Structure 1
């Protein structure tokens, strides 16, 4: 990987499975501007893939016989990511805590009459 803006050249490994849900990626790079060579690493999870992932669902709640509420909701999330580097000017350990945004899109009252 070459980043002309930062004058960096990096060689990254494939994501190496550590557990069923965690992967480790390591790399070595050189910055031509500062004449520094170092390595970096990233620990990621396979849940949701890269970028923003979304869960959409409908949940029903029975209040009493003949009366149910149904909720349509969604959640957009970015999972936490742990990174680090040595000799690159980046921190040895850095954690992005992720993000969760949830919304309640629909509420339905369902009335049923016994026949």
Structure 2
């Protein structure tokens, strides 16, 4: 008797590079394992200033600027978009930081503490964090000002006791 097992796969991104001055078609996976198509066109030059995004499911077209440095750590991104479903045109903005990427960022580290000569404790720890994000829009269904507070989750993965014996002659 043959038993069939269901095969589940997760498509993260598909990239198609077009010949010419624009590139990238990406299909992003949503958390419920349905695919959401997103067409992203942007110039291939490193000095690109804008990108065009089309989401057919939401019937949304946006032109977004490159992230503009406001301070050493803060970036501002602005865009203009049109939603064909709602017949609405508006602009969006997003204030981000360069200290973490989009989504969850992770720090892993080991820290040693010498309690007394010959005895050290070493801690292996990690921190997963999502930095706060400030966004806003005008003329769309999004609020004029919105803030996601972010989160921090830290864990102590390992504690090591290190004994060092030296012979003094």
Fold conserved between structures, TM > 0.5: yes
Tell me the C-alpha RMSD between the 2 structures: 1.1
Which residue of 2 is the match for residue 6 of structure 1? 58
Gaps (5+ residues) in structure 1?
Answer: none
* Greater RCO (Cα-Cα under 8 Å, separation 6 or more): 1
- Aligned pair 1:31/2:83, yes or no? yes
Instruction: Indicate the structure (1 or 2) with the bigger Cα radius of gyration.
Output: 2
Query: How much does 1:22 deviate?
Result: 0.6
- Distance in 1 (CA, whole Å) between partners of 2:96 and 2:131 is 8
Residues 27-67 of structure 1, C-alpha deviation per residue, up to 9 Å, x if partnerless? 11111111111111000001122222211111111122222
SS in 1 for 2:85: coil
Residues 77-112 of structure 1, C-alpha deviation per residue, up to 9 Å, x if partnerless? 111110000110101111111121111111001112
- The TM-score normalised by the length of structure 2 is 0.65
State the number of aligned residues: 115
- Aligned pair 1:97/2:155, yes or no? no
- Distance in 1 (CA, whole Å) between partners of 2:87 and 2:140 is 10
Which residue of 1 is the match for residue 25 of structure 2? none
- The TM-score normalised by the length of structure 1 is 0.93
Higher strand share: 1
Gaps (5+ residues) in structure 2?
Answer: 1-52
